Amino acid sequence: MSQAPSKEAMEFVGKVIGDATGMMAIRLCAIGDRLELFKDLADNGPATSQALADRTGLNERYLREWIYGISLAGYLDFDKKTREVSMPEAHIPVLVEVGGPLYQGGLFKMFTGFMQPYEDLIEAFQKGGGIDYGTYPADFWRGLEHNSCVRYKNLLVSQWLPEMPDVQTKLENGGSFADFGCGAGRSTIELAKAFPKASFHGYDLFPENIENARLTAEEEGVSDRVEFEIHDISKGVPGKFDVVATFDLIHDMADPKGGLKALRQACKDDGIYVLMDVDCTDDPADNEGPLAVFKLGASLHFCMTSSLGQGGMGLGTVGLPESKVKEFSSEAGFSSVRRLPIEHPLNALYEIRP
Ligand SMILES: C[S@@+](CC[C@H](N)C(=O)[O-])C[C@H]1O[C@@H](n2cnc3c(N)ncnc32)[C@H](O)[C@@H]1O
């Protein structure tokens, strides 16, 4: 007769099932986000599956199944008498308000998007190499943008810049600012809105990002002062600037050391380099808490893997702790690195000077 499972084994089964349930809930959220079901429920109020089908033009049978699942997961409310699903008021800023301080919808798109090239990832485990940027679907890039714009809209200008008074002064006085690896341009655009005298430049090697950045600059009314161009910083610098910045770029780069050398070239001798990257420990095994799992998973699904896909160093999401920032900056010819006293669950911010 087989032995009864140990208490530890049973607890571990519980953990696995809990994790699988969480993963499924996020997938159901991705569907609600992509098909704008969350937005519809927030805008138009409670609905039965049939009313939601009428409102959205989607298939009632699929909606009914989704409604049961997402309500049981605790994301929406379901009234068993009226059979109506509704959006709790407190969930609206988290699920619907893109760019708001509590918005998490970027994660749904990002997760679904970067998990899509699964076979490529398995093959990379077997044969080495990595995944090209172009392999990731548009949802991934949009998710990355929506995820990161939360901090650019809510923290960059109001909380982070006051920690860098010299950067603020340069921008107030009409200085030039260049954002390398600008992605969809949200950081550049938020700064351009705050500093009307300064000139802004955003560079990224992925053409689709630059296209999106230009569209957003138009929508936000700053396209006359913000220039977005396709440019690979490892191929040289497009000019010299009073302030240069990288937001979550360096750990993703194929050649981060070369990138920092190029950034030194792009920074005027009396200029300042603002580096935002992922907060992490010297030993990857020392990273703690659920966000550590998130960071390592993101590394495998994008950061490390896309760098290796370019034949790069593959630093990974937790590959640029403060000690490496200092080492690489010094090798690149910068003379000082100051870590700013910001509290953020994901990011660390540095003011670096030539
Ligand atoms: C993690 S994303 C961050 C995007 C954006 N800064 C943000 O915070 O949302 C890294 C970006 O760097 C870009 N990138 C990677 N290597 C680059 C290089 N050598 N030159 C310019 N851009 C690069 C990628 O295309 C991608 O858009």
C-alpha to C-alpha distance for 267 and 240, rounded to whole angstroms: 6
- Cβ of 234 below 6 Å from ligand 1: yes
Say how many Å lie between the CA of residue 247 and the centre of ligand 1. 8
Q: Do 151 and 187 share a structural domain? A: yes
Q: Radius of gyration over alpha carbons of the chain, in Å? A: 22
* Final residue before a domain boundary, out of 74, 96, 118: 96
**197: domain CATH number?**
3.40.50.150
- Cβ of 181 below 6 Å from ligand 1: yes
Residue 310 corresponds to which amino acid?
Q
Q: Do 42 and 141 share a structural domain? A: no
Of the candidates 44, 45, 63, the one whose C-alpha atom is nearest the C-alpha of residue 53 is: 63
- In this structure, which residue's CA is closest to atom 11 in ligand 1? 181
Domain count of the chain?
Answer: 2
Say how many Å lie between the CA of residue 149 and the centre of ligand 1. 14
- Cβ of 315 below 6 Å from ligand 1: no
Q: Do 274 and 176 share a structural domain? A: yes
C-alpha to C-alpha distance for 6 and 12, rounded to whole angstroms: 10
User: What pLDDT, in 10s, does the model give residues 71-103?
Assistant: 999 999 999 999 999 999 999 999 999 999 999
Mean pLDDT of 42-63: 98
Say how many Å lie between the CA of residue 182 and the centre of ligand 1. 6
Say how many Å lie between the CA of residue 54 and the centre of ligand 1. 41
User: What pLDDT, in 10s, does the model give residues 307-324?
Assistant: 999 999 999 999 999 999
Residue 133 located in a structural domain: yes
Mean pLDDT of 109-137: 97
No. of H helices and E strands in the chain? 15, 9
* Final residue before a domain boundary, out of 61, 96, 131: 96
Say how many Å lie between the CA of residue 173 and the centre of ligand 1. 28
Query: Structure pTM?
Result: 0.94
Pocket test for ligand 1, best of 107, 153, 249 (most atoms within 8 A of CB): 249
Pocket test for ligand 1, best of 98, 142, 208, 252 (most atoms within 8 A of CB): 252
Q: Do 339 and 256 share a structural domain? A: yes
Confidence of residue 3 (pLDDT cuts 50, 70, 90): confident
Q: Do 327 and 200 share a structural domain? A: yes
Residue 2 located in a structural domain: no
Characterize 175-195 residue by residue with b for buried, 16 or more Cβ atoms within 10 angstroms of its Cβ, and e for exposed.
bbbbbbbbbbbbbbbbbbbeb
User: What pLDDT, in 10s, does the model give residues 22-47?
Assistant: 999 999 999 999 999 999 999 999 99
